[in-house]
Amino acid sequence: MSGLSQVDATVARPAAAASPCQSCAACCSYSREWPRFTTESDADIARIPSEFVDDRRGRMRCSGDRCSALVGDVGVSASCAIYAVRPEVCRSCEPGDDACQMARRRFGLTPICPMGVSA
């Protein structure tokens, strides 16, 4: 198997030009507790369209565990309706980090290598 270990062979490697997030979005559907506002200022939150904000709970509005700003299907094709103004918790989730891998496991998706790590 050309020198790759069994573990290496099962880890998907995203194409250089495409973000693995666009075919995943598991983190956006993992838990209604994840999209919480923590470091955002009132001005940051005000930039997010109100239909996506759950003011009472201090987080993004969710339908079940799925963030209301998620467009598309987990593990297929997805995007964020508020990408440019998404909260810090969303910005800090990096493809392949521990949170990413945990969310991907929940949906039965193949693990991916952290960004910047090569085979």
Q: What percent of the chain has pLDDT over 90?
A: 67
Cα distance between residue 42 and residue 92, in whole Å: 19
- Answer whether residue 61 shows pLDDT above 90: yes
Average pLDDT over residues 55-73: 95
Cα distance between residue 55 and residue 22, in whole Å: 27
Strands (E) across the chain are located at 53-54, 59-60, 62-63, 66-67, 70-73, 77-80
Q: Residue 79's pLDDT is what?
A: 95
Q: Which of 90, 97, 79, 99 has its CA nearest to residue 38?
A: 90
Average pLDDT over residues 43-59: 94
Domain parsing of the chain, residue ranges: 34-106
Cα distance between residue 28 and residue 37, in whole Å: 14
Instruction: For residue 47, give the 3-state DSSP assignment.
Output: helix
Asked if 23 and 76 touch (Cβ cutoff 8 Å), the reply is yes
Quickly tell me which residue has 């201090």 as its tokens. Answer: 58
- Answer whether residue 83 shows pLDDT above 80: yes
Instruction: For residue 37, give the 3-state DSSP assignment.
Output: coil
Q: Exposed (0-12), middle (13-18) or buried (19+): which is 54, by Cβ within 10 Å?
A: middle
For 3, the token pair is 């020198």
